[in-house]
Structure 1
Amino acid sequence: MQTSFNPRSFLVTGASGFVGRALTQHLGIQAGTRVVCAARSHIPCAAPNMTFFQCDDALETQDWRAALDGVEVVVHLAARVHVMRDTAASPADEFRRINVQGSINLARQAADAGIRRFIFISSLKVNGEQTLPGRPFQASDAANPQDPYGTSKHEAEQALLAIGRETGMEIVILRPPLIYGPGVRANFERLMRLVQRGVPLPLGAVHNVRSMVALDNFVDLITLSTWHAQAPGKIFLVSDDHDVSIAQLLRMLASGMKKHIWLIPVPPCLLVALARLAGKSMDANRLLDSLQVDISETKRMLNWQPPHAMQDAINKTVTSFTSKQ
């Protein structure tokens, strides 16, 4: 029977990233903990119990022995992430080299070092790119990745679970959707800029359903998964448990900024046609499609509830964004 334990020493890869910074700070403020922060570029350690480990681009051959010394739990965030305009000669090969072979290399060394638990941060893209009405993704669904990034995450998941069965190291897999919070970039930041500028947006008639997760909620679940007895060997989906349409999200952003927003009710089919003519079909899909997850199993198995309400998390994100303008 699996039992929970009280880990006090952690290795976090990708510690300089959006999630990595928040997670290492959260783990580092807990009394009696030790956190090894692994990243390619140097990052300052915020506390004496945090140490930096510099890794290189070749994660598939990286020697992790020094970083793993004395560690109980690994949280593997480092990855080649999904990019809109990939310039690699073979994106699939690059994703596989870093996300699959790099993860296998770290997990093998972790098992050899006696690491008890290995948390792998995967992606909802393993499930697919969109959901049908009333059919949210579940962790038990068959994988259906649609691009090299999602495929590489799925392949890494399968390899890590196999290593866990072979070595006894406890593997936990988390698949987040879009993560937002202070410092968020990419599409979420673009939406905030549009709301801030007061630009009329033709999205008032869009009634899709999308799941997202606040950074603080995700960090809370990662932390829980480092010790919970029911976590090993499982795949968990995560969200704020409050799904919204793109129109609702824009109104929540506007509320956080205390701004008026003008949403024009243009039929979605017309938006799709215009996007196709402009060569922006993928961008339109991200705005108009539904992408919903069912986290009932996560809540039940881990006795977890997202601790931060979505509007509160959006307000915190907006405050950080506007303070830097």
Structure 2
Amino acid sequence: MSSSQLVQRPEASAAAPAARGRATRSRARALSPRARKRRWLGLAFAAPALLFYGFVVLVPILQSVNYSFYSWDGVSAAQWVGLGNYVSFFTDPALLESLGHVLVLVVFFALIPIALGLLSAALLGRGKMTGSGVYRWLLFLPQVLTSVVVAVIWKRIYGPDGPLNSALRAVGLGDLAKNWLGDFTWALPALGVIGTWTAMGLCMVLFVAGVAAVPNELFEQARIDGAGPIREFFSITLPSLKGQVAVALTLTVTGALRAFDLVWVTTQGGPGSSTTTPALLLYRKAFLNPDVGMAAAIGIILAIVCLVVAVVITRLSEEKNA
């Protein structure tokens, strides 16, 4: 091989990428009319949905952000307060108390239903159980009913002469009977039990479906190795349900943060302020004692918190699955 050929080889290797780039650009130019047509056609099909989404979602969000910087009763002239409404959110005793109530509701709305849903998946997901279909239907029933119907049913159950107190009196525990939703101590846990009953069915369905997708060979191998039900659950079932647990945790935690209709129908935040939630205070400030700016600030903060919760749970589940 001559020295001239040796000298030209680096130049040829350097020129090869440039030649490939020119070829790619020439092909792109040759296909650009078709690709451009497809792109515009796709945008044309998506435009109505995007416009509708922007009109019903993005525009109200931007308006709410704008309102949150003002003190406004919805009628008189608005006054600029800057971040004052957001500062008030974290200094107002009523709002801080409502945040504490939300933390209690998260336990009842999210943690307990997920634990019970995992237990149900462990019992129903592997093998046959007598009456399992009826059991699943009964647990999923609250998901079919509207939240207002659920609240009305449980309000009757918790009433002074309701089935719960009647059952307590029938077994000789009449001293424990009380107006559960009217008791300062028990009103919030009573609401939490309703949330547990409502959310458990969703968690159960998610987890049972996830267990059904796990290959039977894994469970059979575990049993051959001498694994008992508890070890089988923690070694196979629970790791296989990470995605479903993340979904259930996101839905239930954000549901607790946004709790309004259940609280409004049953207690309206009472007795006193023992069951108030941020969403309930938002409603009061927006419609009962108008302070539109503060109501908008509460809504924006709740939206941000729900978004952060969803992102954190999703990231953690992805890291564990990686």
> What is the TM-score with the length of structure 1 in the denominator?
0.20
More helix by share: 2
> What is the TM-score with the length of structure 2 in the denominator?
0.20
Higher relative contact order (CA 8 A, sep 6+): 2
More strand by share: 1
Instruction: Give 1 or 2 for the bigger CA radius of gyration.
Output: 2
